[in-house]
Amino acid sequence: MIDYGLQGKVALVTGAGGGIGRAAALAFARSGASVLVSDVNDEGGRATVALIEAQGGKAAFQHCDVSDSAQVKAMVAAAVHHFGRLDCAFNNAGITNIAADEYDEAVWGRAIGINLTGVMLCMREEAEVMLTQGGGAIVNTASINGLVGNPSQPAYVASKHGVVGLTRHGALRWAKAGIRVNAVCPGVIVTPMTAPLVAKEDMRQLLDSMTPMGRMGQAEEVAEAVVWLCSGAASFVTGHPMVVDGGATAV
C-alpha cells in the first residue's frame, strides 16, 4: 500500500464499520492520519478503531446516523475534539435496497435520506470546519449507478446521481477557499453489502462477468483512490467522479 503523506492530518470516515469505509479508515491511518471512525454499527466501528490502533495508528469512534443533522454536527465536533482539526472527510455511509420496492415512499425516503441528504449534511458541517482552517479535502461515495442507469433500483440510482451533482456543486462553491470535493464511483465491490449475493456461486459468477476485468473489486482498491484524492498528490483535482469499476462503464 502507498503512503500518501498524511502525517499530522485528521480524517473522518462515515460508514467505517466495514467494507469500503473500514478499508479507507485503515488506509488513512497507514498514511499517518488520525481517524474519526463513524457508523451506526457501534460494534463494527469500534472494531475498526481497534484495527487502526493495532497497526500503531490513532483513532476514535463516534456513533452517527448521517440522516440526522444533530448527529452529524456532533460527529464533526467529535473529530475536532479528539484531534484538533479536520483535513480529510470521506462521506461513505449509504444503503441499497436490492429486494425492496423502491417506489414505496418509505423505502424511497430512507434511501434518499441516507445516501443523498446524509452526504449534504456531512459536507455542510465538514466544510464549516475546513473553511476556518483554510482548506481541506472531501470525498463522497457515489457509484457507477450515479453515472449510468439501472432498471431495478430507482431510489439508489437517483440518490447516487444526486451525490455526483452535489459533489460538483461543492467543488465549485469552495474551490477558491481551498476545499477540494470529489467522489468515488465504485463498480461491483466485495463488501458486507454484496455478501448475500456473493455467497451464491451462480450470482458471484454473474457479478464477475459484469466487469471487463472478470472479477469483483476489493474494498481496498476503492480506499486507495479515496486517500489519493484527499492527498497532496491530487492537489489540482476537484469536482471529479472517479470511477473504480474494472472497466464496467467503459463498455
Is pLDDT at 237 greater than 80 in this prediction? yes
Residue whose grid cell is 444533530: 70
Look up the domain containing 203 and give its range: 10-243
**Is 4 considered catalytic here?**
no
Angle at 90 between CA 161 and CA 192, to 5 degrees: 80
Round to whole Å and give the CA distance between 57 and 33: 8
Average pLDDT over the chain reads 95
CATH number at residue 136: 3.40.50.720
Neighbours of 206 (CB within 10 A): 12
CA distance 150 to 22: 27
Compute the Cα dihedral for 111, 246, 221, 173 and give only its sign. negative
In a domain, 26, yes or no: yes
Which member of 28, 90, 108, 156 is catalytic? 156
Answer whether residue 151 is part of any domain.
Answer: yes
Let me know if residue 2 belongs to a domain: no
Q: Is 227 contained in some domain?
A: yes
State residue 99's pLDDT score: 66
The number of folded domains in the chain is 1
Q: How far does Cα 31 stand from its chain's mean position?
A: 17
CB 23 within 8 A of CB 48: no
Per-residue pLDDT band for 102 (boundaries 50, 70, 90) equals confident
E strand or H helix that includes residue 139: strand 136-141
Mean per-residue pLDDT for 42-62? 98
Q: What confidence tier does 100 reach under pLDDT thresholds 50, 70, 90?
A: confident
* Average pLDDT of the segment spanning 64-84: 98
pLDDT of residue 203: 80
Whether pLDDT at 98 is above 80: no
pLDDT of 231 over the 90 cut: yes
- List all residues 6 or more positions away from 230 whose beta carbon is below 8 Å from its beta carbon: 4, 6, 11, 28, 87, 88, 90, 137, 139
249 domain-assigned: no
